[in-house]
Structure 1
Amino acid sequence: MENVMFSLEGFNFGEVQDMLSSADNVGKHFSSYGTEDWEESVATDALYSGYGFYQQPELCHHSYSDVGLFDNLRFDFASPQIETCLEEISELGEIPTEIQDVIQQKKDKQLPFSLASLELLKNYGTGFRRLTGEKRIEPSIDKAPLTKMSSRKLSTEEIMRTAGERFIRSSSRAVEDVVSMLGNPFNLLFSDLSDEEIRDVELAEFLLASVEKVGDQQYERAKRFLNQCDNLSSDKGNPVQRVVYYFSEALRERIDRETGRISAKENGKKPLFDVDLEMMSSNPTVLAFHEAVPFPQVLQFTGLQAIVENVAEAKRIHVIDLEIRNGVQWTLLMQSLASQCGCPIELLKITAVGTAGKNIIEETGKNLENFAQSLNLPFSYKIVMVSDMLDLKEDLFEINPDEKVVVYAFLSLRSLIAVPNRLENIMKVVRNISPCMMVVNEVEVNLNSPVFVNRFIEGLFFFSAYFDCLDACMKRDDPNRMVTESMYFRDGIRDIVAAEGEERKTRHVKLDVWRAFFSRYGMEEIELSAASLYQANLLVQKFPCGSSCTIEFDGKSLLVGWKGTPIHSTSVWKFI
């Protein structure tokens, strides 16, 4: 039912937030609320690395109905015969990343910064896996002379790709210290760049050189490059300087861990700042980010549009939210349901699932109940709290046969990749509940590689795009931006770079990996409507920085990005 749409007219995210936080104002200020891998040429590290195996589609003969025994599935890609063959293929630049990583682990002590890592960097240097949009600068790594740069200002990610090109070219030379790097003769690449851009490219090169040395366990040499990073970067500077500042900081922590300066006991200390818990609350930083940056609202509106289309004729709707946060998205659903004339709603029930922050979840429920009351909308709010997601059972949910059940997973599955048994349990519960649909919003980047340098490169380009976005959407001295970067982003970068093993919580994977994972549970992707794409494009136009936000279909799902770099995905699923 694509003709069922929200209206964006008159919507103000901040106003809705204020209303939710003040029961006295509910109804008084209400007016009109509307809607708020396996790559094409290189296979990414799959979600399966968390389960202890790597898998290509043509080699997978296991039944998708069998959801257990993940750890027993492993293919020996690192056998001598396959390894010889892959080394030949690698000369053509076609070696799949997931296979490279297995070989990489085998050779780690010999050459930690391997062909796999350089190939990954090279792929980014040639604009690998980008969304459509404005024409990007695509430096040629294999051809000389170097591509002449455009006169327009480069984005943060383009600076990193330019630095990556120079780094790959210089990797054939013995770049052992800062002096030899500064003597790099490939200055033709700098034609038409501003002085600031040239300095930023050189700064990014120092960072890449330092991670190479860390990967090779040449820590003293790495520190020389990091000293340059420290001198030239700043957490208050331009986006490149800020990105390098936090990645350099995380690299120093990794060096301290690997050299024993930070003990295992210190590594295991519980962090004072709980990112997931903080993001559940309606603190000023979270609200400012949601209001200034397009991504959260685009994801919420797109998912809600899909829900409205699929439950438009239902009289009783039950939404199971796996991580409800402040619940602002459900005020929009309430408004849509309350305005229906042909099919009046008998009950909207929301069940919030959580393992922590019960007081926050309860407060969200009270605000939603007040909001529903102001609309005269029949509403019920339930909480399912479990100490561990392994304890989640379908009988904890009050499911009635006359309800249309929807499962909503907004950035909630990513934290479970590191604990696959819990993720598996949630999927079993969802399958037993058998909802009419499951909406999944996730981060579109592969940070699940067991190879440190590969994670570093993937994370560097992802966060470069995100820091670039913040620079366009928020002032550099905005306190909320400073907190976002220094706490939320710093925590994610540290997790990618400095942490290993069970301590590493940030393990995002891309949409194609989720597709393969969901298919194991008999789930089929539902095609998002043209109305969803229309709504997303209409919404980003309301942001001053919206022209740089890129949105397009990826198969049946939607990818949202920044200047062509994918950032988030929205997909909808049903059981077959």
Structure 2
Amino acid sequence: MEEDMEEKPCMFHDALALQAAEKSLYEALGEQYPSSMDHGASYPENGGGFSDYASTTTSSDSHWSLDGLENNNRPSWLQTPFPSNFVFQSTSRSTSGDNSASFGSSMFKDSELAMQFKRGVDEASKFLPKSSQLFIDVESYVPKNSGFDENTSESRLTGKKKSHWRDEDEDLAEERSNKQSAVYVEETELSEMFDKILLCGGTGQPVCITDQKFPTEAKARGKKSTGSKKETADLRTLLVLCAQAVSVDDRRTANEMLRQIREHSSPLGNGSERLAHYFANSLEARLAGTGTQIYTALSSKKTSAADMLKAYQTYISVCPFKKAAIIFANHSIMRLTANADTIHIVDFGISYGFQWPALIHRLSFRPGGPPKLRITGIELPQRGFRPAEGVHETGHRLARYCQRYKVPFEYNAIAQKWETIRVEDLKIEQGEFVVVNSLFRFKNLLDETVVVNSPRGAVLKLIRKANPSVFIQAVLSGSYNAPFFVTRFREALFHYSALFDMCDSKLPREDEMRLMFEKEFYGREIMNVVACEGTERVERPETYKQWQARVIRAGFKQLPLEKELMQNLKLKIENGYDKNFDIDQNGNWLLQGWKGRIVYASSVWVPSSS
């Protein structure tokens, strides 16, 4: 059905409207309206049947009543409510009996009736299957072990006659069977993927990173860049010039710059060409004023856990940033909770929960048995009718992991704006070791430049009020949160240049997961940074030093980094990744970057005594 169906005349025929139109036509011609049309068999008597149907469906809140059609089995177009001003257009309707014969001959010639019939056939044929094949060989269409039940399609395979509605019921039963099997297969495959990717390839006893041995000499794994420096410099210059034109609403110059950028950019090109493509998209959206709509559409797209895991696997295979941050956080939790009977993790931004299977696996091997694990998974509400669906799915997935590894588990799901959460919502119990964890998500909290009561301050105040045993924070360290557009644009350009260059150093240009990651993560973030303003701009990173000042003001102090952990993380990255990745420390921050540019930072905090 067309998306604008409500604006178009309905395909159903209203008999009362047809009758009124015919009567007015006869009066205009100066002829008497036939009495058979007023009282004849052409229309049901006593106000019932078709005329009653027409009158009851003109209301937007009318209820459908069709024999043999249950509510959940209706075609989707029958479930669509009609607005009160809906127009039912009328056409001729063939009827039975003598009256109908006189009605047909008095209104239309035979050729016109033939034309009407042909038009009806043509319209009906649009809804028929395109293929002429009425019987399908199931063996050739359904793969083995797909969960298809041959018995559900017996009537089609044997040629036995059954009623129209019964066939539809069987189709629905078959569809449900297929869906259940698909869900089972997906969960099994997903579990195997989790094991392979998140448990580092095995389900045996895990080895602590501080006990792992690495070669003392790092392997040089970098490769030369394929693009010319001049071309990169020219594209960056064009992008900055275009941003300056956009900032002063010089549309002629901006459009000319965009035209030149488009000639040298592509989502399938090298790193600088891909970077230019997404920045050009964002500049164009800012110029047109459509940035918020595009960003919202990109953010609304729901990605399955399986697809997200594949993208994550591709990402961590070439980039250590998130993997190192997770190892740092999980190792810190294991070390600090060695004697805890109950561990309560409050995870701000739990998302798909990729961080926790490895920790659950390690806890299951703890001497003396695993502790009780409680996780409060916090996310922003999703759009739609089930705002907490995603965070609940993550909880079910983690519960299966804990059941598998015999780790006692409780889960508390919260899906609301983080600054509105109260301490009571966290359900902290006395005597448990409370870990507050947040990896890279505080960058999406609004700051005091947008709202007086800063959500950043509110969330940090909430964490301090919860008085956790430890607070583990990983931040994206960026400078592109300036209120001035051109300054912000330059900083964002430098930041994302490093990320696109990093992907280009290891991944093929046509890699499907690379394309997905760059479009749905980097591209979406760039759209928000460049084309959105005010409360709609949610990509607001700060440098790790700015975050340090915030967390100290909130009443926390940093714990020193573990030297052995730092050494082994550095060796792991140097031996497993490109030589241009940097890992270092500054004070009590673990820093990660690319070619000298700091991208991520991690630290461990405890409440200060004062």
Tell me whether 1:295 sits opposite 2:325 in the alignment: no
Is contact 2:343–2:432 with CA below 8 Å preserved after alignment? yes
Matched residue type, 2:391: I
Is contact 1:154–1:197 with CA below 8 Å preserved after alignment? no
In 1, the alpha carbon distance for the partners of 2:306 and 2:433 equals: 28
Which among 405, 408, 431 is matched to residue 375 of structure 1?
Answer: 405
Tell me whether 1:331 sits opposite 2:374 in the alignment: no
Q: Decide whether aligned partners of structure 1 residues 154 and 198 sit closer, same or farther in structure 2, where only a CA change above 3 A counts.
A: farther
Which among 328, 340, 364 is matched to residue 314 of structure 1?
Answer: 340
Residue 241 of structure 1: CA displacement?
Answer: 1.1
Q: Decide whether aligned partners of structure 1 residues 511 and 519 sit closer, same or farther in structure 2, where only a CA change above 3 A counts.
A: same
In 2, the alpha carbon distance for the partners of 1:463 and 1:402 equals: 44
Q: How does 1:434-453 map to 2 (within 5 A)?
A: 434-453=467-486
Is contact 1:200–1:240 with CA below 8 Å preserved after alignment? yes
Tell me whether 1:399 sits opposite 2:425 in the alignment: no
Which among 236, 239, 246 is matched to residue 204 of structure 1?
Answer: 236
Which among 528, 539, 556 is matched to residue 495 of structure 1?
Answer: 528
Q: How far does the alpha carbon of each residue in 1:323-356 deviate from its partner, in whole angstroms, 9 at most, with x for none?
A: 2223232222223323232x54431221212332
- How many pairs are equivalent? 397
Tell me whether 1:415 sits opposite 2:444 in the alignment: yes
Residue 474 of structure 1: CA displacement?
Answer: 1.8
Matched residue type, 2:399: E
Residue 505 of structure 1: CA displacement?
Answer: 1.2
In 1, the alpha carbon distance for the partners of 2:264 and 2:250 equals: 22
Matched residue type, 2:477: E
Is contact 2:342–2:372 with CA below 8 Å preserved after alignment? yes
| TM-score, scaled relative to structure 1 | 0.63
Which among 463, 474, 489 is matched to residue 507 of structure 2?
Answer: 474
In 2, the alpha carbon distance for the partners of 1:22 and 1:329 equals: 12
Corresponding residue of 1:274: 299
Q: Decide whether aligned partners of structure 1 residues 365 and 542 sit closer, same or farther in structure 2, where only a CA change above 3 A counts.
A: farther
In 2, the alpha carbon distance for the partners of 1:435 and 1:215 equals: 45
Corresponding residue of 1:433: 466
In 2, the alpha carbon distance for the partners of 1:403 and 1:551 equals: 33
Q: Decide whether aligned partners of structure 1 residues 386 and 238 sit closer, same or farther in structure 2, where only a CA change above 3 A counts.
A: closer
Q: Decide whether aligned partners of structure 1 residues 517 and 245 sit closer, same or farther in structure 2, where only a CA change above 3 A counts.
A: same
Corresponding residue of 1:348: 373
Q: Decide whether aligned partners of structure 1 residues 538 and 313 sit closer, same or farther in structure 2, where only a CA change above 3 A counts.
A: farther
Is contact 2:446–2:535 with CA below 8 Å preserved after alignment? no
Residue 466 of structure 1: CA displacement?
Answer: 0.2
Query: Secondary structure of 2:554's partner?
Result: coil
Corresponding residue of 2:204: 31
Matched residue type, 1:199: E
Is contact 1:386–1:392 with CA below 8 Å preserved after alignment? no
Q: How does 1:36-55 map to 2 (within 5 A)?
A: none
Residue 568 of structure 1: CA displacement?
Answer: 0.8
Name the larger-Rg structure: 2
In 1, the alpha carbon distance for the partners of 2:396 and 2:306 equals: 14
Query: Secondary structure of 2:428's partner?
Result: coil
In 2, the alpha carbon distance for the partners of 1:232 and 1:369 equals: 49
Is contact 1:551–1:558 with CA below 8 Å preserved after alignment? yes
In 1, the alpha carbon distance for the partners of 2:371 and 2:205 equals: 22
Q: Which has the higher contact order (CA 8 A, sep 6+)?
A: 1
Q: Decide whether aligned partners of structure 1 residues 217 and 391 sit closer, same or farther in structure 2, where only a CA change above 3 A counts.
A: closer
Query: Secondary structure of 1:445's partner?
Result: coil
Residue 21 of structure 1: CA displacement?
Answer: 5.8
| TM-score, scaled relative to structure 2 | 0.60
Tell me whether 1:362 sits opposite 2:392 in the alignment: yes
Q: How does 1:145-184 map to 2 (within 5 A)?
A: none
Is contact 1:431–1:521 with CA below 8 Å preserved after alignment? yes
In 1, the alpha carbon distance for the partners of 2:596 and 2:227 equals: 25
In 2, the alpha carbon distance for the partners of 1:394 and 1:16 equals: 38
Residue 451 of structure 1: CA displacement?
Answer: 0.6
In 1, the alpha carbon distance for the partners of 2:304 and 2:421 equals: 22
Residue 490 of structure 1: CA displacement?
Answer: 1.2
In 2, the alpha carbon distance for the partners of 1:233 and 1:539 equals: 35
Residue 506 of structure 1: CA displacement?
Answer: 0.7
Matched residue type, 2:311: T
Which among 228, 241, 254 is matched to residue 222 of structure 1?
Answer: 254
In 1, the alpha carbon distance for the partners of 2:231 and 2:484 equals: 29
Corresponding residue of 1:84: none
Residue 195 of structure 1: CA displacement?
Answer: 8.2
Q: Decide whether aligned partners of structure 1 residues 268 and 494 sit closer, same or farther in structure 2, where only a CA change above 3 A counts.
A: closer
In 1, the alpha carbon distance for the partners of 2:189 and 2:456 equals: 32
Q: Decide whether aligned partners of structure 1 residues 446 and 223 sit closer, same or farther in structure 2, where only a CA change above 3 A counts.
A: same
Q: How does 1:105-184 map to 2 (within 5 A)?
A: none
Matched residue type, 1:375: Y
Q: Structure 1: give runs of 5+ residues left out of the alignment.
A: 1-14, 37-133, 135-151, 156-193
Q: How far does the alpha carbon of each residue in 1:522-547 deviate from its partner, in whole angstroms, 9 at most, with x for none?
A: 1112222113313422432464x432
Corresponding residue of 1:109: none
Tell me whether 1:248 sits opposite 2:273 in the alignment: no
Matched residue type, 1:439: I
Is contact 2:376–2:414 with CA below 8 Å preserved after alignment? no
Residue 272 of structure 1: CA displacement?
Answer: 1.9
Q: What fraction of aligned residue pairs are identical, expressed as a percent?
A: 23
Q: Structure 2: give runs of 5+ residues left out of the alignment.
A: 1-187, 210-217, 383-387
Q: Decide whether aligned partners of structure 1 residues 399 and 517 sit closer, same or farther in structure 2, where only a CA change above 3 A counts.
A: same
In 1, the alpha carbon distance for the partners of 2:424 and 2:534 equals: 34
